[in-house]
Chains A and B, each alone.
Chain A
Amino acid sequence: MTLEIVLFVIFALVCLVSGILMVTRVNPVISALFLVVNFGSLAGLYLTLNAQFIAVAQVIIYAGAIMVFFLFVIMLINPEHEKRFLEYKPQLKIFAVAIAVLVFLQIAYIILFSKPSEGVSREVAASVKAGTIEQIGRELFTKYVLPFEAVGYLLLSAAIGALVLAKKKFK
């Protein structure tokens, strides 16, 4: 067994176990902490796929920023309310299970029955090069410059909107 496979198995097991523990915990804070573990192991999986930049972004943005945000939200709202909501309408759980099964079946279909796309290079050197920050930066400022600017305006409008809706007082 090569090191790559050993690493993959370790990260995949951590990912699966933390995912299961996340949805089965009663206390939402513990669920959120297991989600952090899940994000961390996903970052490891990205690394084994030669996607260094995505792995780093996953750790900084998801495991860092977004999880801090999640924890704040959980602390600020009262989680007891949410629990009562599900007890009040248990049939909602059926929808959740149905959608999860549907998505699972679809991914299983993709993995088992589709061929790898022809357009994607399968050479290791090429995939290492495509994952570097220099390459991503170059693509971002040449080929994808319009989407890049559009994302800038998307964040600007979201920031202005959040301020408008959350500002304390009217003029």
Chain B
Amino acid sequence: MLNNIQEFYNILPLIIIGGLILVSLIIEMYSESSEKILPWLSIIGFLFVGIYSLVEVGRTSIVLQNMLATGGVVNIFWLIFNITAAIVCLLSINYIKKYGAYYGEYYIIIQTSVLGMMLMAGAKDLIVIFLGLEVMSISFYVLAGFNRNRSSANEASLKYFLLGAFATGFLVYGIALIYGKATTTSIDAISLNFSALSGNVLFLTGVLLFLIGFSFKIAAFPFHMWVPDVYQGSPTTVAGLFSTAGKAAGFSALIVTFAALFGGPHGHLFTPYLSAIAVFSMLFGSIVAIMQTDIKRMLAYSSIAHAGYMLIGLASGNIDGVAGIIFYLAAYSFMNLAAFGIVSILEGKEETNLDLDSYAGLGTRSPFIAGLFALIMFALAGIPPFAGFFGKYYVFIAAIKSDLTWLAMVGILSSMISVYFYLRLVVIMYFKSSETEDKVSYTASEIIAVVIAVVFVIILGLAPGSFIDLVTKFL
């Protein structure tokens, strides 16, 4: 129940996405030209909601009987999810034809997944987190298996579903144990009583199981097994959505549950667990990525490593760490989207041209795309002045402030390892001659999507302070 009209305006983003899903369903049922209408309708909807969230960022409130928070950091997450989804839709218009499988449901399921993410970021109650996660995950399982004619897509979907359901089991069991001790699912009430509750073994087991469940979703070591196969088997644009908005949603839920503890006496309770999985994710992701020959698998392992860097911010357990993670998530979303976007442009029919060697000679064949890709690789490697550098900078600073200098050192070491495989791709593009002389063909919508993402990477790199100020204002 809403108490006044202002609360209605505050949850308008959720209402718009919810309505968009229903309208899209009706259009898909009755319209012959839904293939043309749906992508643009989705893009307009996502952009509107994203910009609306940014405009209304100052209106912090807690609505719907303490179930949902709006404004502040929540709206910043909503902005990230919606802009990411809009770029994914823009990339998909042409890609989905090349992929050979069009359903209008593709866009509808992207919309439901975004609705789930938005619920997770705004949740004030463990039930809402769980439901948001399930709405997102079920949409993702379907998106992964979208091309049913290919056995690799079926494998990706089934693998993602089984492991995801397994992770959800951990999560629900954890929530049940937390509820058993705290007798409430309200996150605020649990954080307030944390000192009294933290002596209980069952409660701590519950919180740990909760963390493990989310470690699956954010693709951290040792719960990363599904990542390479799922990214490789699913459509490239969808893999871009998994690795950006999906990861951001997982972190947003961790932030809304744990941020209230940070700065308090229990802020460092889970630092040993978090720093352990951060170290292993970073090193494992960076080292195994070196051995990959498939570009999507390489990006998958790099996404495991980036989850590790972000976990440093969570392990440091202070407000700077949270702000650093949010900046890192925004930067990483745009970097990775641009990377997956370029991969989807270069991908041929029937999932060809995904080998690293097929990028040989791109510097002469298509200098513009090669230039963009090289820039993204520099940004992902964390070379200034791009956004990737400042993302790492902020989380490392947060770790040093919490006396976790060794963790920051491991992070720097792992970044140095990762430079090798990012720059190897640049070397292949510019210094290796290719067998074909084919020009790369692309449509306007695809290249605009990639350019928008690259522009965001550059802006976040040139003016990181304004974004960080916006985030820290609400923490």
A-side residues, CB < 8 A to B, are: 106, 109-110, 114, 117-120, 142-147, 149-151, 153-154, 156-158, 160-161, 163-165, 170-171
Contact = CB atoms under 8 A, between A and B. Distances in A.
A170 to B, nearest CB: 6
A153 B25 CA distance: 13
A57 B112 CA distance: 28
A165 B148 contact: yes
Nearest to A103: B173
Contacts of B112: 153, 156-157, 160
B234 to A, nearest CB: 13
Instruction: Please classify the interface of chain B as helix (H, G, I), strand (E, B), loop, or mixed, using the class held by over half of its residues.
Output: helix
Given A143-B65, A147-B131, A161 B102 contact: no
Contacts of B108: 160
B180 A161 contact: no
Interface centre among A151, A154, A158, by most chain B C-beta atoms within 10 angstroms, is A154
B21 interface: yes
A160 B183 contact: no
Contact of B202 (A110, A151, A161): A110
20 contacts: A117-B183, A119-B184, A142-B65, A145-B1, A146-B64, A146-B67, A147-B67, A153-B18, A153-B112, A153-B116, A157-B109, A157-B116, A157-B138, A157-B139, A157-B142, A160-B25, A160-B105, A161-B109, A161-B138, A170-B149
B339 to A, nearest CB: 27
Contact of A154 (B65, B102, B135, B148): B135
A31 to B, nearest CB: 22
B148 A150 contact: no
B180 to A, nearest CB: 7
A144 B127 contact: yes
Nearest to A119: B183
Contacts of B462: none
B135 A153 contact: yes
Contacts of A120: 183
Interface of B: 1, 18, 21, 25, 64-65, 67-68, 101-103, 105, 108-109, 112-113, 115-116, 119, 125, 127-128, 131-132, 134-135, 138-139, 141-142, 145-146, 148-149, 157, 180-181, 183-184, 202
Contacts of B138: 154, 157-158, 161
Given A142-B65, A144-B127, A154-B138, 7 more contacts: A120-B183, A144-B65, A156-B21, A160-B108, A160-B109, A161-B105, A170-B149
A164 B146 contact: yes
A151 B157 CA distance: 22
Contacts of A149: 18
B131 A151 contact: yes
A171 B438 CA distance: 31
A153 B181 contact: no
Contacts of B65: 142-146
Contacts of B128: 146-147, 150
A171 B103 contact: yes
B139 A150 contact: no
B68 A146 contact: yes
Contacts of A163: 105
A106 B112 CA distance: 37
Given A117-B181, A145-B65, A150 B157 contact: no
Contact of B119 (A150, A157, A164): A150
Contact of B1 (A142, A164, A170): A142
B83 to A, nearest CB: 21
Nearest to A171: B102
Nearest to A162: B142
B126 to A, nearest CB: 10
A103 to B, nearest CB: 9
A168 B109 CA distance: 19
Contact of A164 (B132, B142, B180): B142
A165 B113 CA distance: 16
Nearest to A118: B183
Interface centre among B131, B181, B184, by most chain A C-beta atoms within 10 angstroms, is B131
A114 B202 contact: yes
B6 to A, nearest CB: 17
A157 B17 CA distance: 13
A66 B229 CA distance: 32
B131 A164 contact: no
A144 B142 CA distance: 28
A80 to B, nearest CB: 21
B131 A154 contact: yes
Given A145-B64, A165-B148, A117 B180 contact: yes
Contacts of B149: 170
A129 B110 CA distance: 42
B106 to A, nearest CB: 8
Q: Enumerate the 6 nearest inter-chain pairs by beta-carbon distance, A residue then B residue, closest first.
A: A161-B142, A119-B183, A157-B112, A150-B131, A146-B67, A146-B64
Contacts of A170: 101-102, 149
